Amino acid sequence: MFRYVIRRILAAIPVMLIVSTTVFTLLFLTPGDPAGVILGPDATPERINELREQLGLNDPWHMQMLRWYGKLIQGDLGNSLSVNNRTVMQAIAERAEPTILLTTLALTVSLLIGLPTGIVSALSRGRVVDTLVMFVAIVGVSMPSFWLGLNLIYVFAVSLRVLPLAGYQGLDQGLGETLRYLIMPAITLGLAQGALLARMTRSMMLETLGEDYVRTARAKGLNQPAVVIRHALRNALIPLVTVVGLSFAVLMGGAVITEQVFNIPGVGRLLIQAIGRRDYPLVQGIVLLIALMYVLINLLVDIVYGVLDPRIRQSRA
């Protein structure tokens, strides 16, 4: 087990290296001059060149990258150009709360929707319920999240006026208030993932329900709930762990769009703002942090997977 964990960690390191190099290079190639952005349109070419020299922007690519890596290891992502007097880290930290809450809530929503419907669908395979659930699921997968969000806003905020139109209240205002602001965004973000999860759960369940050990369990007279929960579901859940891990990444990406729909001041909106204002250090920092989070979550999923399923530990030895 220990060796398995170490091996997974070692395999993640080159991925992280390539990821960070890609992020750096991508932003390095960006047209437009950060020095010009800082100084504004009235700056003289001499002044701009002076600042470029100061910021090290005149150095070649590999020098800039090595310097960037040196700072990165110390957790220094540079200073934001558009958020006043903030380092990139501070700017991101200030916006992290809504994004973390939104993503977690959306994952909860998708699990609450996906698992039960998938199981019910698998158990009533071929019948009307199954066909109906699967059709709703494929509609859910095809539904653009931002359109769903706009519809929810129109129904619950504009027409019925039961939920706030948009925006966010922090946890310091009380959990209830925060949830009131996050419930629509969480459904918007989580529904498509829930629909996908329902489809996956169904096919995993169908697979395990057809296994010999399930037939054996039935043959020895075990009742239906025990067969389904203890034998079929438990084994179907193992591959689903991977799916949930991947969901997290999709949700983190989707959060950018959802935050834009609902005006939530999270990391995603910060990213869009940073792109609009050509705040490259901030764009770089956010993209890098999200990608590294994703690598870490997948690493965690791999390890959990190994804990749950001894075959995985062995086969990758």
Rounded to a whole number of angstroms, the minimum distance from the CB of residue 114 to another protein is 11
Determine the interface stretch with another protein among 72-80, 92-100, 134-142, 223-231 (rule: CB under 8 A): 134-142
Residue 40 binds to another protein (criterion: CB under 8 A): no
Q: How far is it, in rounded angstroms, from Cα 170 to Cα 201?
A: 34
* C-alpha span between 177 and 183 (Å, rounded): 10
Interaction residues for another protein, span 244-283 (CB under 8 A):
246-247, 249-250, 252-254, 256-257, 260-261, 271-272, 275-276, 283
Q: Binder to another protein among 58, 154, 171, 229 (CB under 8 A)?
A: 154
156 binds another protein (CB under 8 A): no
Least distance (Å) between residue 213 CB and another protein: 18
Q: From the CA atom positions of the chain, what is the Rg in Å?
A: 24
Q: Token match 């769009």: residue?
A: 257
114 binds another protein, rule: CB under 8 A: no
Q: Which is nearer to another protein, 233 or 267 (CB)?
A: 267
DSSP codes, the chain: -HHHHHHHHHHHHHHHHHHHHHHHHHHHT-SS-HHHHHH-TT--HHHHHHHHHHHTTTS-HHHHHHHHHHHHHTT---B-SSSTT-BHHHHHHHHHHHHHHHHHHHHHHHHHHHHHHHHHHHHTTTSHHHHHHHHHHHHHHHS-HHHHHHHHIIIIIIIS--S-SS----GGG-HHHHHHHHHHHHHHHHHHHHHHHHHHHHHHHHHHHTSHHHHHHHHTT--HHHIIIIIIIHHHHHHHHHHHHHHHHHHHHHHHHHHHHHT--SHHHHHHHHHHTT-HHHHHHHHHHHHHHHHHHHHHHHHHHHHH-HHHHHHT-
Candidates 144, 167, 170, 310; binder of another protein (CB under 8 A) is: 144
**Per-residue contact string for residues 60-99; x = within reach of another protein by CB under 8 A:** ----------------------------------------
* Residue 37 interacting with another protein (CB under 8 A): no
Residue 303 binds another protein, judged by CB under 8 A = no
Enumerate residues 190-209 that contact another protein by CB under 8 A.
Answer: 192-193, 196, 199-200, 203, 206-207
Candidates 4, 8, 23, 102; binder of another protein (CB under 8 A) is: 23
Answer yes or no whether residue 179 interacts with another protein by CB under 8 A: no
Binding site for another protein (CB under 8 A): 14-16, 18-19, 22-23, 26-27, 29-31, 125-126, 138-139, 141-144, 146-147, 150-151, 153-154, 158, 192-193, 196, 199-200, 203, 206-207, 210, 242-243, 246-247, 249-250, 252-254, 256-257, 260-261, 271-272, 275-276, 283, 287, 290-291, 294-295, 298
